[in-house]
Amino acid sequence: MSFYANLHLHSTHSDGKYTPAQLARIAYDEGYRAAALTDHDTVTGNREFMAACAALGMESIFGVEFTAPCPSLKTPDGQDEFFHLTAYHFDPEYPEMKEYLRGMALRETDQTRILFERGLREGLLCDMTWDEVLEFNQGIAWLCNEHVFRLMLAKGLATELDYFPFFHSVFGDRRGEVPPAYPFKEASEIIRLVHDAGGIIFVAHPHNQLQHIDALVEMSIDGMEVWHPDLTEEEKAEAEKIALRKGICLSGGSDHSGLCGGEYSAYENPQSCPFWLEPTSVGTTKAHFDAIREAFPAL
């Protein structure tokens, strides 16, 4: 199956590899004719992305991907469930939304700065300053390990093949050692906030989470990602059945995989890496993209 729209993409404004304009071109050249930029907890790349899509004659939808804990729902081992939620077409200037996005940028950037400075002290990083990271990433509010690594590449301190050793030694699981400066909202609150801001919201890549869709529908979720590389073929089939039965919209996207994911450069043989995808093999069909438009005319 070849898909029309890619509604889950990340740019350099969060943890993606390409600028918003570059990403739009790559998605178009791959064969997509509609797309949404869903950077993590930030919307600063959307204007550039949507302008680039328009110049290419490609449809676009304003978007973001939120991370949301859900203490009322549990994982199979009894832990609080976490959901990723892709939100579309909301007003980022809605006061409560604007404040939350500001807090999310503060949360990520503060953790990154603390781990960056620890990396310098431990000798895991060298020949860089935090001011250089900020200068190199002007216009980006949400700063993570990717922004540090891009500076390393620019200064000749690393090659693309060095990314995973860098990530796991300096950042990776060590983020859990840094208390967050700003809390995540719970899933029900994110769903409410997106609706209050005039948008719609989907549960993203519900791998091992399909048992919770009923509860999310009760929270007024609008749709679900079905065609995403994290889902097994069995999960995709089951997710499609559940979404159709519940009367919610269906979507999909490539996330960090495939050509748009930009991860191939970290592997000597891209086709053997875990992020390999055949072009336009995940995403949203034209029929389901049109159904989203029809269900939410403001889009």
- Condensed to tens digits (0 to 9), the pLDDT of residues 179-228 reads 999 999 999 999 999 999 999 999 999 999 999 999 999 999 999 999 99
pLDDT at 266: 81
Over residues 66-117, the pLDDT tens digits come to 999 999 999 988 899 999 999 999 999 999 999 999 999 999 999 999 999 9
Task: Using CA atoms of 86, 251, 48, 57 in order, give the dihedral in degrees to the nearest 10.
Answer: -170
Inside any domain, residue 172: no
Residue 144 pLDDT exceeds 80 = yes
Over residues 166-191, the pLDDT tens digits come to 999 999 999 999 999 999 999 999 99
Residue 98 phi/psi, 5-degree rounding, is -60, -40
Helix (H), strand (E) at residue 249: strand 249-252
Inside any domain, residue 121: no
Inside any domain, residue 81: yes
Q: Which domain holds residue 30?
A: 5-101+182-295
User: Where does the pLDDT of residue 141 fall: very low under 50, low under 70, confident under 90, or very high at 90 and above?
Assistant: very high
Inside any domain, residue 192: yes
Give the CATH number of the domain where residue 16 resides. Answer: 3.20.20.140
Domain count, the chain: 1
What is the reported pTM?
A: 0.95
Over residues 153-166, the pLDDT tens digits come to 999 999 999 999 99
Inside any domain, residue 152: no
Written as six digits, the tokens of 238 are: 């089951």
Inside any domain, residue 224: yes
C-alpha closest to that of 220 among 246, 253, 244, 239: 246
Over residues 244-276, the pLDDT tens digits come to 999 999 999 999 999 999 999 888 888 888 999
Inside any domain, residue 143: no
Inside any domain, residue 135: no
